[in-house]
Amino acid sequence: MNLTLRKSNRKQAKIKLALQGASGSGKTYSALLLAKGMTDDWSKVAVIDTENGSADLYADLGQYNVLPLHHPYSPEMYIKAIDVCVENGIEVLIIDSLSHCWEYLLDEHSKMAGNSFTNWSKITPRLNALIQAILNAPIHVIATLRTKQDYVLSTKNGKVVPEKVGLKAIQRDGVDYEFTIVLEINAKHQATTSKDRTGLFVNLPAFSITEQTGARIKTWCERASASTDKSFSERINETKTVAELLEIYNAHPECRLEFKDAFIVQKARLTNPQSFSKEGSVTNG
């Protein structure tokens, strides 16, 4: 096998995103909006539908593709469905939902004779194969995960009322860590992030997912890595106003930490140019 070393390039990145939420939280609809923003072409979007045709409920959004899956929801069937979508030129694949596969595997495990712990050695590789198929797919993948439902008591208008909340995702522990972005959707259809390697949604308050959310992800994927671009520091230093500097800062959340000092110095230079000499260093005066 030939091994080839190449430079890192964000254009190679394909987002693997998980949407977690209770039934009725809007996972399918949100996934479709994300997909539209990530490709801007409904014909390049496909939904692997295990939810009894729920994907067709939003057909008014556009003519996306649907690939229905029916029982048994084995990992092997999911993998075949992913391959079909890749072979047909799909750019954004929605797996709605991944939880059915885990429930299938739990059922298979319960039927196996012998030692329960040992039997997991036969089940786990099958799920791992599916996760690897998702991660290795040369397309964007959005997987929805149902969460176990529970109710908490909250006070509204002076009255104690039950409120539905989403808890742990119905999936093997740790699967969510395989994704680049994990968004939690609450009963009010608003999202928060529990994992984000892009830096796009870190520390954001709860927000509504729109096509623009998907477009931001697409821009992040397609932008050449600024951290490997020698001209990025020059772009910071060439800004003429604080507003222009702020625009670059907001456009590159993934570079804020690495270029923190450069941003701080340039902001100081723009707000108090008298503190710098002509050579660009801080004066003693």
Q: What's the pLDDT score for residue 123? A: 93
> Which is higher by pLDDT, 10 or 81?
81
For residue 89, being part of any structural domain is answered with yes
**Domain match, 119 and 214 both:** yes
**Domain match, 117 and 255 both:** no
Q: Which of 181, 254, 191 is nearest to 15 (CA)?
A: 181
Q: What's the pLDDT score for residue 284? A: 46
**Domain match, 209 and 80 both:** yes
pLDDT at 40 over 60: yes
Domain count of the fold of the chain:
2
Q: What's the CA gap between 259 and 189, in Å, rounded?
A: 35
CATH of the domain at 129: 3.40.50.300
Residue 263 lies in domain: 226-275
> Which is higher by pLDDT, 183 or 150?
183
Q: How confident is the model at residue 283 (pLDDT cuts 50, 70, 90)?
A: very low
Q: Which residues pair with 48 in a beta bridge?
A: 67, 95
> Read out DSSP for 207-221?
B---HHHHHHHHHHH
Q: Which of 6, 39, 32 is nearest to 222 (CA)?
A: 39
Model pLDDT for residues 112-133, shown as the tens digit of each residue = 998 989 999 999 999 999 999 9
Model pLDDT for residues 160-202, shown as the tens digit of each residue = 877 766 566 767 777 877 899 999 999 899 999 989 988 889 8
pLDDT at 252 over 60: yes
**Domain match, 96 and 234 both:** no
Is 240 strand, coil or helix? coil
For residue 95, being part of any structural domain is answered with yes
pLDDT at 282 over 90: no
Give mean pLDDT, residues 16-30: 92
> Which is higher by pLDDT, 27 or 148?
27
Q: DSSP label at 282?
A: B
Q: What's the CA gap between 161 and 151, in Å, rounded?
A: 10
For residue 284, being part of any structural domain is answered with no
**Domain match, 180 and 70 both:** yes
Tell me if 266 sits within 8 A of 282, measured CB to CB. no
**Domain match, 240 and 140 both:** no
For residue 4, being part of any structural domain is answered with no
Model pLDDT for residues 191-221, shown as the tens digit of each residue = 999 899 888 898 889 999 999 999 999 988 8
**Domain match, 254 and 153 both:** no
Q: End-to-end distance of the chain based on CA atoms, in angstroms? A: 63
Please state, as a whole number, how many other Cβ atoms lie within 10 Å of the Cβ of residue 88: 11
Q: For all residues of the chain together, what is the average pLDDT?
A: 85
